[in-house]
Amino acid sequence: MLRFLSIFLRTLGAVALFFVALIIVTGFVLSWMVKSSVDERAFLKGTVPDKPPVGRYLISAGGIFPSWRGKEFSTQPGIGMDLVENSGSFDRVNTFNVSMGPGLKDQISVIRMDYNRSGNPLWLRPVLQEMLQTSSGVYLGKIHVRLIPFLPFSIGYFKMNATQ
């Protein structure tokens, strides 16, 4: 019985190590693809607006989840929520902290949206999004995942437009 347990634990350790290595390799590949994209050049040309965004902004391109439709920035500074579509209407979910600060990987000032808040699902807390204004009412955002300390991965972009 003890021998079986030892073999099982070594096998489990090897499988876990394989999945960790797979996540790291995938993260590096995605980060390289993001850094090499046309969106990266547009992102680096963007600016932080004079006033932080307030109101509803809808996704016009990109994003990760099909039901994710945009963001709503509160008039209360520092708070925002994702908008997801539910039976033709929008539900507010996943609160994030909004701040201005340095980019996680780029040496520029950005609008940061940090999902590391109690109340958000555990799988969402490592997500940090950054965005810059590319033209009036139009924003380009970059999505980072901080799974491994000091080794964040960039996984994609999204574009948003202000609604009236």
**Percent of the chain at pLDDT above 90?**
48
Which of residues 157 and 24 earns the better pLDDT score? Answer: 157
Residues in the chain: 164
- Burial pattern 55-82, b for ≥16 Cβ within 10 A else e, equals ebbebeebbeeeebbbbbbeeeeeebbb
**Rounded distance between C-alpha atoms, residue 160 and residue 27, angstroms:** 24
The mean per-residue pLDDT over the stretch 133-141 comes to 92
Confidence bin at 148 (pLDDT 50/70/90): confident
Confidence bin at 146 (pLDDT 50/70/90): very high
User: Using one digit for the tens of pLDDT, what is the confidence trace for 55-100?
Assistant: 999 988 776 677 889 999 998 889 999 999 888 888 999 999 999 9
Position 96 scores a pLDDT of 96
Pair 149, 131: CB distance under 8 Å:
no
Q: For the chain, which domains are there?
A: 3-162 (2.40.128)
The mean per-residue pLDDT over the stretch 141-152 comes to 89
Position 157 scores a pLDDT of 92
CB-based contacts of 138, cutoff 8 Å, min separation 6: 60, 159, 160, 161, 162
User: Using one digit for the tens of pLDDT, what is the confidence trace for 27-53?
Assistant: 888 888 888 888 999 999 999 998 888
Q: What is the CA radius of gyration of the chain?
A: 19
**Rounded distance between C-alpha atoms, residue 42 and residue 22, angstroms:** 30
Q: Is 94 exposed, middle or buried (0-12, 13-18, 19+ CB in 10 A)?
A: buried
pTM of the complete model:
0.84
Position 102 scores a pLDDT of 94
Pair 90, 82: CB distance under 8 Å:
no
The mean per-residue pLDDT over the stretch 132-152 comes to 90
CB-based contacts of 117, cutoff 8 Å, min separation 6: 95, 96, 97, 125
3 state SS of 48 = coil
User: Using one digit for the tens of pLDDT, what is the confidence trace for 3-34?
Assistant: 878 888 888 888 888 888 888 888 888 888 88
- At residue 2, φ and ψ (nearest 5 deg) are -65, -40
